[in-house]
Amino acid sequence: MDVSATASPSSLHLLVGIVDRPRATLAAVLARPRWRWLLPLLLCLAASALLLLVSLDELSRQAAQQQAVAMQSLESQAQGMSAAQQEQVRQQMAAFSSPLVLAVSSLVTGLLGLVIGWLLGAGILFIGLAIGGEATPYAPLVAAISWTWLPFALRDLVSAGWALATGTVRVNPGLSYFVASGDRIADAVDPLWLLASQIDLFWLWHLVLIYVLLKAARPRGSAWGLTLAYAAIYLLLRVGPAALLGRLSLGM
């Protein structure tokens, strides 16, 4: 049965349809967007929380390494501090790298990133469709784009499964393996590594769903140009701020 043929398909029905009937599924979300974002939100958060749980030890080690690098960069400034002040700085940096703080901050950051990603992504499509002469309301686009994020939830589940099965966490996601230097701290602020880490089959699946969403919103128009523009802006927003913040945190 076609998803669009039902009066009000359930979220579980839509979850199945996003795989085998993506265009009809996204058209149904655009037609009746109210609360349709809730299931994708819960699935994305659950997958991220599971990946965080199995990766917490590795994240703690990376945070300790970053703390050591940051302390080295602060040595020149620390010369003017008293021993008590230097110890206070060390304690504060250690507190920020504790597992509990890392877990909470990662979950909050992930939630904010998810919501901001949906809002910005929907904004890109809204403006692009408006320029193309298709006046699609913004709120339905936000609800629909949440479903295009499900490949990323599956990516986190696969990564978590790999970590549980092998006891190791992937340190070079996507295509970043081909440009990795072996220095995790340097790679984490390298724009090329950050760019390559975003590109994998799950991201390509996300782009396919973006294209399908555009075709559902504008059946008669071309969607390739806006899909490519979305991909370029997506990568820029993912790589630019991460590289900048990473370099600032390491004092580079």
Q: What is the pLDDT of residue 73?
A: 58
The b/e string for 63-99 (b: 16+ C-beta within 10 A; e otherwise) is: beebeebeeeebeeeeeeeeeeebeebeeebeeebee
The b/e string for 209-248 (b: 16+ C-beta within 10 A; e otherwise) is: bbbbbbbbbbeeeebeebbeebbeebeeebbeebbeebee
Would residue 18 count as lying in a domain?
no
Q: What is the pLDDT of residue 74?
A: 56
Would residue 51 count as lying in a domain?
yes
pTM over 0.75: yes
Confidence of residue 239 (pLDDT cuts 50, 70, 90): confident
CA dist 185 and 67 (Å) reads 11
Tens of pLDDT along 62-117?
655 555 555 565 555 555 566 665 556 565 655 556 666 777 777 888 899 899 99
* Structural domain of 134: 35-58+99-249
Q: What is the pLDDT of residue 79?
A: 58
Q: What is the amino acid identity at position 178?
A: F
CA dist 224 and 132 (Å) reads 12
Would residue 4 count as lying in a domain?
no
Q: CA-based Rg of the chain, rounded to a whole angstrom?
A: 21
Q: What is the pLDDT of residue 1?
A: 37
Q: What is the pLDDT of residue 238?
A: 85
Tally the domains of the chain: 1
Is the confidence at residue 10, as pLDDT, over 60? Answer: yes
Is the confidence at residue 2, as pLDDT, over 50? Answer: no
Q: What is the pLDDT of residue 103?
A: 72
Contact 197, 172 (CB under 8 A): yes
Range of lowest pLDDT (37-46, 115-124, 237-246): 237-246
Q: What is the pLDDT of residue 3?
A: 44
Would residue 175 count as lying in a domain?
yes
Cα angle 44, 50, 53 (rounded to 5 degrees) comes to 140
Would residue 107 count as lying in a domain?
yes
Q: What is the pLDDT of residue 220?
A: 84
Would residue 139 count as lying in a domain?
yes
Q: What is the amino acid identity at position 126?
A: F
Distances in whole angstroms, Cα of residue 139 to Cα of each of 136, 201, 237? 9, 28, 21
CA dist 201 and 216 (Å) reads 22
Task: Taking residues 145-167, report their average pLDDT.
Answer: 93
Would residue 45 count as lying in a domain?
yes
Q: What is the amino acid identity at position 61?
A: R
Tens of pLDDT along 160-216?
998 888 878 777 888 988 888 877 777 777 888 888 999 999 999 999 999 999 999
CA dist 102 and 106 (Å) reads 6
Is the confidence at residue 17, as pLDDT, over 70? Answer: yes
Would residue 1 count as lying in a domain?
no
Tens of pLDDT along 29-58?
999 998 999 999 999 999 999 998 888 776
